[in-house]
Amino acid sequence: MSQSAQSSRITAGQSAAELLVRLIDLSLESSSEADFLGSALQCINEKAKSSGTTLIEGAKGQWRVIAHSGAGDGLPTEMLADALDAEACKQGEGWTAAPLYKPNRASQLLACNSDSIDTSEFDSWTAAVGLALSSFKQRAQQSRRAQRLDAILEMTAQWNKSRQTDQLLEQIALASTRLLGAERATIFLPDAAGSSLIGKPALGVEAGEIRIPLNAGVVGQVMESGQPARVDYDVSDEQSQIHREVDDQLGFQTKTILCVPMVNGEGTTIGAFELINRNEGNFTDEDETALRELASHAAVAIDNTQHVEQLVTSKRTVSQQAAGQVEMIGECAAIEQLKKSIERVANTDLVILITGENGTGKEVVAQMIHYLSARRDEVLVAVNCAAISETLLESELFGHEKGSFTDAHQTREGKFELAKDGTLFLDEIGDMSLDGQSKLLRVLEERKVVRVGGSTPIPTDARVLAATNQDLAQMITDKKFRQDLYFRLNVVPIELPPLRDRGDDVILLSEHFLTQFCGKARRSVPKITAAAKKRLLGHAWPGNIRELRNMMERLAYLTDGEKIDASDLDFVNSPASADSAIPMDLPLTEATRQFQVDYIARHIERSKGNMTDAAAKMGLHRSNLYRKMKQLGMSDGDGGGAEDSDG
């Protein structure tokens, strides 16, 4: 490869990496896939200096535009088909197109209204869009799954409180219509003799029930086949399946139906769950999946009283899976001590204040505490206090009643309510306003919240974990943080060491992240050379673990070969921390002295006062170290004790 080609390739890789970081940020900020794609395609327009970029999908000879930014007319379909078939970047007719994924199972392409773009660079941009979009979809899917699980758990918890079948069936029907947006819901169960089906609840019918033959209409079909059935309003053949005698009896018109079997734990069909008249259009596949989930839980609730235990078991499995993904990598003394501290305090209700520089893993510590506690099967709610404006803070944390302020269109639970019986993690607590601090202190003291616009105190049993990268003691002195709140939060302090003070943990973390990301990138894990390890150990890591993780992710996706050498390490240039910075107005002699004092002190601290160990790490004999400390005017009082212990 020529030097110019190699330089071009490096530049393209850096451009793609920068774009990927920007797109990931956009995916985290976007509320919907459409919002994200609009922003992402605009980024491509800017980089390509193009008038328009389109995300398009090809299937069965047809092209469907998924999203576009700017001009999108006149797409060259033959060139698009070539790019899709070849799974490679193509150009023609004023356009450049490349597959979004490789292999391109989704048949999606990114097309840009310009044919003067470097194809390798456009290929990298497209891959960055694909990675960021996959990340967004995965988070959205996990969020929907969690919301559905919480909704079903909430409903079934209410069902479990009922001891009467009729009341239970009514609760199930009302919950299903609300969750799936239907006009009515009925649960059909065989009568005692097994000669007919009884449907409850039945609005407008005396005795509140409907009786139909075992084989009548859609319900009978589902009971016989054990398979779901749907009736759409615009399909005449399906409309003929509706049992109109019930409509005549109720003075009602059935337009659409979704019916699923109710199967007990032994696999026996015990009834049918029917929804009637979807509020908007026909019932969908997603509605069917959701109703089948509801029906399975309703069947268990009706068949026995074990449904809550099964849901709790299901939720425990999810929490265990989440807990299995949370781990603290490290073997240095500080981290070993930190792990022991977490184990000791996790299964208590003590308030914990987690401190440390940005990127040291404060959220990981909060997750470990939660998953090691008895609250592990409940929800962990994280709130970034720095991201909430002062005007919205009270509503966000404590909730609000409908109409309490201009945009309060409905009642909303606050984070303290959502985290009831679970854990509430307040990150960046130092950025909370003084007024917000006062209100938080009141809740911590009283263990009750009052929604904005409300008057009823709502008990909360949420355990509070707080975190900050700021010096709260100094903020108290500066009148920026309440002293009483500090004492209330600082029941158990946990301080995370910066990565630069964790020694060989840097290598352990590097290899862990590299293995993790290479697995996602579907490539073999390269070996980190001795020269690269030395350079990793010598870096100050102003961004701590977050900086290291990002570097390993870049290396996994953007490097080739079987090893990572020192030249492959691309450190982010960040300003040094205030603690390690030496004033620029000092003479060289004094600056050198200050550096030596700081350097020796850090080694002694890392060696926990063992002077022999500290001296060895600096390439000195212990007596020479004491001599140097004396020359620098450093106190060796602690060192003398260490010397005695060294023998």
Report pLDDT digits (tens) over 462-495.
999 999 999 999 999 999 999 999 999 999 999 9
Does residue 152 have a pLDDT over 80?
no
The pair of structure tokens assigned to 257 is 């139906």
Model confidence band, residue 148 (pLDDT cutoffs 50, 70, 90): low
Half-sphere exposure of 639 (CA within 13 A, CB side): 21
Model confidence band, residue 9 (pLDDT cutoffs 50, 70, 90): very low
The pair of structure tokens assigned to 313 is 């078991």
According to DSSP, residue 208 is labeled G
CA of residue 621 relative to chain centroid, distance:
50
Phi/psi for 307 (5° steps) reads -65, -35
Task: Quote the pLDDT of residue 6.
Answer: 39
Does residue 95 have a pLDDT over 70?
yes
Task: Quote the pLDDT of residue 227.
Answer: 92
Q: Which of residues 643 and 458 earns the better pLDDT score?
A: 458
Question: Whole-angstrom Cα distance, residue 628 to residue 622?
Answer: 10
C-alpha distance from residue 614 to each of 170, 330, 336, 385, 401 (Å): 73, 20, 20, 40, 61
Does residue 72 have a pLDDT over 70?
no
Q: What percent of the chain stands above pLDDT 70?
A: 85
Q: What percent of the chain stands above pLDDT 90?
A: 20
Task: Quote the pLDDT of residue 5.
Answer: 42
pLDDT tens figures, 345-364: 999 999 999 999 999 999 99
Q: Is 457 in a helix, a strand, or coil?
A: coil
Domains in the chain: ranges and CATH: 3-140 (3.30.450.40), 162-313 (3.30.450.40), 326-495 (3.40.50.300), 499-568 (1.10.8.60), 588-646 (1.10.10)
Does residue 166 have a pLDDT over 50?
yes
Q: Which residues of 338-360 are buried (b: 16+ CB within 10 A; e: fewer)?
A: beebbeebbeeeeebbbbbbebb
Model confidence band, residue 585 (pLDDT cutoffs 50, 70, 90): low
CA-only gyration radius of the chain, Å: 32
Question: Whole-angstrom Cα distance, residue 524 to residue 562?
Answer: 8
Does residue 606 have a pLDDT over 80?
no
Does residue 637 have a pLDDT over 80?
no
Q: Which of residues 300 and 275 earns the better pLDDT score?
A: 275
Least confident of 163-177, 214-228, 314-328, 531-545: 314-328
Question: Whole-angstrom Cα distance, residue 513 to residue 551?
Answer: 9
The pair of structure tokens assigned to 98 is 């490349």
DSSP 573-633: --PPPTTT---TTS-HHHHHHHHHHHHHHHHHHHTTT-HHHHHHHTT--HHHHHHHHHHTT
